[in-house]
């Protein structure tokens, strides 16, 4: 129903915003708490996809306390959902030490058997990557 769809959209966006609030204070582990054990993760600064919560933990834990965002915003978050899957897409702008970064993000969520939505796939890309001169 439309009411259920709105509830799923609200839940997914709230999960993401809560994790970003922690991230902005230098704690990326909020995302670990909302990620499934079999999560996969793409990032333009990594050579390969990360597979599973253990690999994602190895990336995130050393970052704890290493940065603080002055400001950030999720721009036009959109959730497309079915009964057990939801895809969240948005642009993400952040300002750290006065430097602005613009990103595209796609997060795929799955409704787990315990009734909680968990991220199973994350894909980050730079909105306007710098083109290398040949």
Section 97-118 average pLDDT: 95
* Least confident window among 1-5, 82-86, 102-106: 1-5
Percent residues over pLDDT 70 in the chain: 95
Section 20-33 average pLDDT: 95
Q: What is the 3-state secondary structure (H, E, C) of the chain?
A: CHHHHHHHHHHHHHHHHHHHHHHHCCCCHHHHHCEEEEEEEECCCCCCCEEHHHHHHHHHHHHCCCCCCCEEEEEEEEEEECCCEEEEEEEEEEEECCEEEEEEEEEEEEECCCCCEEEEEEEEEECCCCCCCC
* Least confident window among 4-8, 63-67, 69-73, 75-79: 4-8
Residue 133 has pLDDT above 60, yes or no: no
């Amino acid at each position: 129903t439309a009411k259920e769809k709105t509830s799923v959209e609200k839940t997914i966006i709230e999960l993401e915003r809560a994790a970003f609030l922690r991230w902005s204070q230098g704690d990326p582990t909020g995302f670990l708490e909302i990620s499934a054990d079999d999560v996969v993760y793409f990032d333009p600064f990594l050579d390969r996809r990360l597979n599973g919560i253990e690999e994602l933990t190895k990336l995130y834990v050393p970052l704890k306390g290493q940065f603080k965002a002055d400001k950030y915003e999720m721009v036009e978050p959109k959730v497309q959902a079915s009964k057990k899957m939801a895809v969240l897409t948005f642009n993400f702008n952040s300002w750290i030490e006065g430097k602005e970064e613009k990103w595209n993000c796609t997060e795929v969520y799955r409704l787990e058997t315990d009734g909680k939505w968990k991220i199973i796939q994350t894909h980050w890309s730079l909105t306007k990557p710098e083109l290398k001169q040949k």
